[in-house]
């Protein structure tokens, strides 16, 4: 409170002004995309720009939904949910033992996992496509979900979170004769719930936006995801910005809602990855 007077210095005003300018710079594209979806094609490329759709039209959305955009939406939801559930289950189990059990090879396994986290996916591009296709999974949603579960980020995150658990409780449970599985399900999982929530939302958004994997794994129109479908439309409609912006809006809004609703957990997920190792 003492320094609140000092806060109104010129430097501070300048800083806030700059911040607001930047904020407008970041919000403007989204304003533009959302309003642009309701403009006629001629209007979207008009200069000087029409800052607000004076004669709004839903023509762009009509064109958009001639594509199976709803199917794309559900594909995206399924991929994001499927990845999320698998990653959470697999990572919580692994993260728990990596954090709380002393066993042979622990350091080695952890070191390998961390090292792999930075691996560029393109390195394994061709073998991965071949592997998936040898199982007949190419162009199915599993082709995007399964490789994403192999990515060790979730394990790393859950290990971080599990380290925060008070070991006494686990020890007490052991002394009380609780089995390992029971301890895990009844004690560990409830305690790391915030961690799971963070990982879940993080994975959900990550899987939704994993354009690269979707690009190489999916091809038929009914199997595309929302971002991939919209990207395909960008190629097809080239400079028809009206339809493109309608598509971009439709691709962005669902995930934006998810983000706003769960922002708290999402932020936690990011900071947890870095806060402590």
Over the window 236 to 255, marking each residue x when it contacts other proteins by CB under 8 A and - when it does not, the resulting string is x-xxxx--xx-xxx-xx--x
Of 56 and 171, CB closest to other proteins: 171
Minimum CB separation of residue 222 from other proteins in Å reads 8
Angle of the 193-208 helix axis to the 141-150 helix axis, nearest 10: 130
Minimum CB separation of residue 56 from other proteins in Å reads 18
Residue linked to tokens 């809004």: 253
Q: Considering only residues 84, 132, 199, 207, which one is a binding residue for other proteins as defined by CB under 8 A? A: 132
Interface with other proteins, residue 73, by CB under 8 A = no
**Footprint on residues 209-238 left by other proteins (CB under 8 A):** 209, 211-212, 215-217, 219-221, 227-228, 230-232, 234-236, 238
Q: Considering only residues 10, 108, 120, 176, which one is a binding residue for other proteins as defined by CB under 8 A? A: 120
Of 56 and 257, CB closest to other proteins: 257
Q: How far apart are CA 246 and CA 33, in angstroms?
A: 7
DSSP for 99-131, written as a single string = HH---TTHHHHHHHHHHHHT--GGGGHHHHHHH
Contacts of 71 (CB under 8 A, 6+ apart): 222
Interface with other proteins, residue 203, by CB under 8 A = no
Interface with other proteins, residue 44, by CB under 8 A = yes
Q: From the CA atom positions of the chain, what is the Rg in Å?
A: 24
DSSP for 23-83, written as a single string = HHHHHHHHHHHHHHTTS-HHHHT-SS--SS-SS---HHHHHHTTS-HHHHHHHHHHHHHHH
Q: How far apart are CA 277 and CA 275, in angstroms?
A: 7
Cβ-in-10-Å burial (0-12, 13-18, 19+) of 99 comes to buried
Interface with other proteins, residue 93, by CB under 8 A = yes
Minimum CB separation of residue 186 from other proteins in Å reads 15
Q: Considering only residues 21, 58, 115, 261, which one is a binding residue for other proteins as defined by CB under 8 A? A: 115
Of 54 and 104, CB closest to other proteins: 104
Of 57 and 139, CB closest to other proteins: 139
Over the window 146 to 185, marking each residue x when it contacts other proteins by CB under 8 A and - when it does not, the resulting string is xx-xxxx--x-------xxxxxx--xx-------x---x-
């Amino acid at each position: 409170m003492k320094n609140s007077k000092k806060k109104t210095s010129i430097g501070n005003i300048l800083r806030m002004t700059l911040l607001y300018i930047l904020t407008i710079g970041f919000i403007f594209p989204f304003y533009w995309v959302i309003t642009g979806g309701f403009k006629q094609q001629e209007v979207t490329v008009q200069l000087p720009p029409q800052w607000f759709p004076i004669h709004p039209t839903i023509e762009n959305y009509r064109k958009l939904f001639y594509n199976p955009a709803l199917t794309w939406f559900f594909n995206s939801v399924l991929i994001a949910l499927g990845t999320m559930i698998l990653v959470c289950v697999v990572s919580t189990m692994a993260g728990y033992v990596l954090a709380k059990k002393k066993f042979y090879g622990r350091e080695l396994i952890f070191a390998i996992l961390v090292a792999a986290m930075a691996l560029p996916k393109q390195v394994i591009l061709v073998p991965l496509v071949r592997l998936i296709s040898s199982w007949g999974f190419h162009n199915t949603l599993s082709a995007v979900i399964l490789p994403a579960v192999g990515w060790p980020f979730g394990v790393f995150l859950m290990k971080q979170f599990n380290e925060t658990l008070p070991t006494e409780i686990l020890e007490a449970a052991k002394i009380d004769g609780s089995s390992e599985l029971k301890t895990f399900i009844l004690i560990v999982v409830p305690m790391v719930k915030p961690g799971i929530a963070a990982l879940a939302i993080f994975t959900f958004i990550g899987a939704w936006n994993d354009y690269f994997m979707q690009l190489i794994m999916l091809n038929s129109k009914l199997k595309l995801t929302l971002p991939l479908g919209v990207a395909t439309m960008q190629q097809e409609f080239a400079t028809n910005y009206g339809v493109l912006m309608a598509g971009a809006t439709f691709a962005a809004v669902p995930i934006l809602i998810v983000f706003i609703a769960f922002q708290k957990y999402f932020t936690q997920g990011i900071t947890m990855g870095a806060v402590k190792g």
